[in-house]
Chains A and B, each alone.
Chain A
């Protein structure tokens, strides 16, 4: 069976989401670098795979996918094993809880933390521009409220979907890996012991450590 291919960029949080899934299930994969610095993501060859001109894209034989959360679902389902099941697809109720907290990641968490990460890290480091501190402040307030909900949830269950680790937890890793280095963000996590412990358990997973070691620093 040919290895699957991920068309990705080293600091792309969405690309990292897919790589983490592949590492968790132990699938063979090939990374094809799409150089965003030179606009390769807008090339006809890449747009043929991701019509929105974004990364990542993914290929398994004739099947071409895009949108990292959809790619992740595919990888986690195809390569599911008795010891690695991050969707709990065989249980209607458990998979529903995974779906709920996957939606929370996309609709609540990412919408608050991504603008902070983008302003504080991408704009200065990638574009040489100036951080909009107003955007950062507004979203820190939003993120704090989201993390209050997480603190309450993680006081009840070990992980977000229940007492089992799932894609819902994993999906938070990429943007948080970068954002936790921002002092105001770290402070929000430090003030919430269950959230902090949950984050540390994500960081300590072998797959996370392996993937993190290859993510370049944003300077």
Chain B
């Protein structure tokens, strides 16, 4: 069986979401770099894979997918085994809880933390611009309120969807890997012991350590 292919640069947080899934299930995969600096993501060849001109794109034989959360679901389902099941698809109720907290990641968490990441890391480093402190401040408040919900949840269950690790937890890793190092963000996690412990348990997973070691350092 030919290895699946992932088209993305190393620093793409969305690509890291997929790489984490591939590493958790132990699938064979090939990475094809897409050079954002030269606009390769807008090339006809890449647009044919991801019509929004974004990264990642993914290929398994004739099947071409995009949107990292959809690719992740495919990988976790196809390569599911008795010891690695991050969707709990065979249980209607457990998979529903995974889906709830996957939506929370996309609709609540990412919407608060991504603008902070964009202002603090992307604008100065990629666009050589100036961070908008007002945007950062507003979103730090939002993130604090989101993390209050997480603190309450993680006081009840070991992981977000229940007492089992799932894609819902994993999906938080890529952006948090960078954002947790920001002086504005770190205290929000420090102040919430269950959130802090949950984050440390994510960081300590073998697949996560392996992927984290290959991510670029913040400058």
Contacts and interface: CB of A to CB of B under 8 A. Distances in A.
A26 interface: no
Contacts of B52: 104, 108, 146, 149
A166 B68 CA distance: 20
Contact of A65 (B51, B69, B96, B102): B96
B102 A70 contact: yes
Interface stretch (A28-36, A71-79, A176-184, A191-199): A71-79
A107 interface: yes
B115 to A, nearest CB: 12
Interface in A86-132: 92-93, 95-97, 99-100, 102-104, 106-108
B99 A73 contact: yes
Given A65-B100, A92-B74, A152-B51, A103 B67 contact: yes
A117 to B, nearest CB: 16
A96 B103 contact: no
B152 A99 contact: no
A183 to B, nearest CB: 26
A107 B106 contact: yes
Contacts of A65: 96-97, 100
B96 A96 contact: no
Interface string B52-78: 100000000001011101100110011
A5 interface: no
A164 interface: no
Mostly, the B contact residues are helix
A2 interface: no
B63 A93 contact: yes
Given A52-B108, A100-B65, A149-B52, A67 B92 contact: no
B51 A67 contact: no
Contacts of A146: 52
B63 A70 contact: no
Interface in B134-163: 146, 149, 152-153
B104 interface: yes
A77 B92 contact: yes
Contacts of B74: 92, 96, 99
A206 interface: no
Interface in B73-113: 73-74, 77-78, 92-93, 95-97, 99-100, 102-104, 106-108
16 contacts: A63-B96, A65-B97, A67-B103, A70-B96, A70-B102, A74-B92, A92-B74, A92-B77, A93-B63, A95-B77, A96-B63, A96-B73, A99-B67, A104-B67, A146-B52, A149-B51
Given A92-B74, A108-B52, 8 more contacts: A65-B96, A67-B99, A67-B104, A96-B65, A96-B74, A107-B67, A149-B51, A152-B51
- Which A-B residue pairs are the 5 nearest by beta carbons? A67-B103, A103-B67, A99-B70, A70-B99, A100-B70
